[in-house]
Amino acid sequence: MSAHHLIVGGQRSGKSRQAEALALRWQAGGGGVAVVATALAADDEMRARIARHRVDRPMGFDTVEAPLALSTALDQADAADTLLVVDCLTLWLVNWLMPMTGEPDARGWAVERAALLDLLPRLASPVVFVSNEVGWGVSPLGREARHYVDELGRLNQDVARLCGQLTLMVAGQPWTRPVENSPDA
């Protein structure tokens, strides 16, 4: 497995299942796995999703909650024998730019985004990122939604450049290729 891997796709495309399959292979080879969860339980539906993910998570996977401070969580969990699965960048960005309570923190987001991109090349752990590819549909009508889609697209591109592998999930099927001009290429 190359150092870092980005898995993108639409909702219910199989992204998390693919990341889990990669993590199970890593675990079968004797390595540890830590899932870095970014979701916030802001409503009943999200609480149910989080609970289902916890129950369905394979035995032996550690969980780290990081709804905002993703770079700190990755840095603290970093170990060459541990695969880190970030699920997902999409919700992480929502927490910063479209929080359920309070105002967006654009300055905090810029600092945390830069910290993540700076940290990735220095991690001993391989990281599998899960993120939605949301820019293929109709352009959102609201300014905030358009800003979010643009930011997620830029984040996915920047993370991909720091990964050795990119997988696009389509109808539960992975399409994987090396990332051009990545540090691992």
At 29, give phi and psi (nearest 5°).
Answer: -85, 5
Q: Hunting for tokens 């609201």 — which residue is that?
A: 142
Annotated active-site residue 53? The verdict is yes
**Residues facing residue 165 across a β-bridge:** 5, 178
Cβ neighbours of residue 10 closer than 8 Å, sequence gap 6 or more: 132, 133, 134, 136, 169
Q: Would you say how long the chain is, in residues?
A: 185
Token pair recorded at residue 2? 């190359």
Angstrom distance (rounded) from CA 24 to CA 122: 24
Is residue 166 classed as helix, strand or coil in its secondary structure?
Answer: strand
CA angle 8, 12, 17 (to 5 degrees): 70
Q: Hunting for tokens 């979010």 — which residue is that?
A: 148
Angstrom distance (rounded) from CA 84 to CA 71: 12
| Residue 44: Cβ within 10 Å count | 8
Which residues belong to the active site? 53
